[in-house]
């Protein structure tokens, strides 16, 4: 199936993560020129983690505000619309309102290059899109999820810093042979997707 084919399942929701922000400090951390790590004076690679979480004279950690982040990513998204053709939607499909879930492990969000908005990747195992009555599909992700089309002013009126107010399109895939389908007879769009 082509990404240009119909039907198209449109999801709407939010992404959140508890990011580690150690690379946000310009006085140490990451240098985009030669791609070097700048260690603070007297700190070695093997003691850097301990130094980051230690309290300094001001009573704050030496690292940035999120030194304890685990990079866990969370999606709260559900099917908003099913597009069946040009300017056509299907309102009575059993898949409407289905929730997106990741299974097998906690997804981890990694910024490969903290200076670029298009290098965020989410490492995950399995994807499931399923309604409360069991209609949907699932399967293992064949590629990490990547961010596409970052739009910094997407969340109008957001007071969040940096990427907090940004909207993106997340993209990944499941191999057709690995898809598991559930209750195809209760959805108008799933049989078309399965072809």
Q: Is residue 92 a contact partner of residue 22, using CB atoms and an 8 Å limit? A: no
Residue 144 resides in a domain: yes
* Separation of alpha carbons 87 and 70, rounded Å: 42
Q: Is residue 48 a contact partner of residue 20, using CB atoms and an 8 Å limit? A: no
Residue 54 resides in a domain: no
Nearest to 130 by CA among 84, 74, 184, 83: 184
Q: How many domains does the chain have?
A: 1
* Averages of pLDDT over each 10 residues, the chain, 195 residues: 78 79 57 66 82 78 69 86 88 91 87 68 91 94 81 60 67 91 92 87
According to DSSP, the β-strands at 120-123 and 145-151 are antiparallel
Residue 77 resides in a domain: yes
Residue 149 resides in a domain: yes
**Which residues, at least 6 apart from 179, have a Cβ–Cβ distance to it below 8 Å?**
137, 138, 139, 194
Q: Is residue 141 a contact partner of residue 98, using CB atoms and an 8 Å limit? A: no
Q: Is 65 in a helix, a strand, or coil?
A: coil
Which phi and psi (to 5°) does residue 179 adopt? Answer: -70, 140
Residue 63 resides in a domain: no
Nearest to 131 by CA among 100, 176, 154: 100
Q: Is 192 in a helix, a strand, or coil?
A: helix
What is the reported pLDDT for 5? 82
Residue 51 resides in a domain: no
What is the reported pLDDT for 186? 92
Residue 64 resides in a domain: no
* Separation of alpha carbons 43 and 180, rounded Å: 51
Q: Which two tokens stand for residue 150?
A: 């970052």
Give Cα 182 to chain centroid, integer Å. 25
Residue 177, domain extent: 8-19+69-194
Give Cα 172 to chain centroid, integer Å. 10
Residue 57 resides in a domain: no
């Amino acid at each position: 199936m082509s990404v240009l084919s119909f039907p198209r399942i449109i999801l709407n929701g939010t992404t959140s993560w508890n990011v580690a922000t150690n690379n946000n400090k310009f006085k140490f951390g990451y240098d985009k020129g030669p791609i070097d790590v700048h260690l603070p004076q007297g700190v070695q690679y093997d003691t850097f983690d301990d130094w980051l979480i230690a309290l300094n004279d001001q009573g704050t950690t030496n690292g940035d505000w999120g030194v304890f982040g685990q990079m866990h990513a969370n999606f709260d998204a559900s099917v908003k619309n099913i597009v069946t053709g040009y300017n056509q939607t299907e309102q009575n499909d059993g898949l409407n309102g289905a929730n997106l879930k990741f299974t097998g492990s906690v997804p981890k969000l990694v910024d490969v290059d903290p200076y670029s908005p298009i290098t965020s990747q989410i490492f995950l195992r399995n994807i499931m899109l399923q309604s409360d009555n069991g209609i949907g599909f699932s399967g293992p992700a064949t590629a990490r999820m990547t961010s596409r089309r970052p739009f910094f002013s997407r969340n109008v009126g957001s007071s969040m810093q940096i990427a907090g107010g940004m909207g993106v399109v997340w993209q990944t895939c499941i191999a057709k042979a690995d898809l598991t389908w559930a209750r195809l007879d209760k959805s108008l769009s799933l049989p078309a997707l399965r072809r």
